Amino acid sequence: MAEPSQDMVLGCYFLTKEPADFEQAEVKAKAAHVSSLAELDMGLATKRLAYHSPVHFWDDVRWVYTTAGRVIFHSILPEGIRREGFLNQVMRKRDLSELVFNSYRRAGLASTVQFLDNLKEFGFRYATMGGVSIGGGGPGDPGREVEPAARRGGPGRAVPAGVRHRPDHLR
């Protein structure tokens, strides 16, 4: 079974974490009531809400006190998982792995594959928005330098700092 990568986990964690004052009564009392994902999207687009804003969300049968980011995360879950209730928690690697496994058991292979695809796009998108990433090793990264044109013999390629060029006859 596939597991979420680090950047995907970071994006999901970023979006589902709650603000420090989330449990305070006055914050809970002032939280907006949002009855649909479209209404939440409008609040985000008009900057009335942020991803970590506390909200009361209508989940088909009851109001759930949560964050805007958790509502968005909930929207990508397979139908079989969504029917079990609102997933109102910070999503860490273990939580995501269990969610993928439960999706496979309850919703089947096709729904789980679609969920993993959505989770990948979702996680990378919000990791980027949160300004966090685990990846590295590209030409713009510290500790890397681009090999001089005279030594590389062609289009530029990144070579780790301190690694010497191997002449073509030794390759």
pLDDT tens digits, residue range 96-113? 999 999 989 988 888 888
Q: What's this model's pTM, rounded to 2 decimal places? A: 0.71
- Under CATH, what is the fold of the domain 6-130? Enzyme I; Chain A, domain 2 (1.10.274)
CA atoms within 13 A on the CB side of 155: 1
Which portions of the chain are predicted below pLDDT 50? 133-134, 136-154, 159, 163, 170-171
Q: Where in the chain are the domains? A: 6-130, 137-171
Query: What helix, strand, coil percent values describe the chain, rounded to 5?
Result: 50, 10, 40
Burial bucket for residue 61 (CB in 10 Å: 0-12, 13-18, 19+): exposed
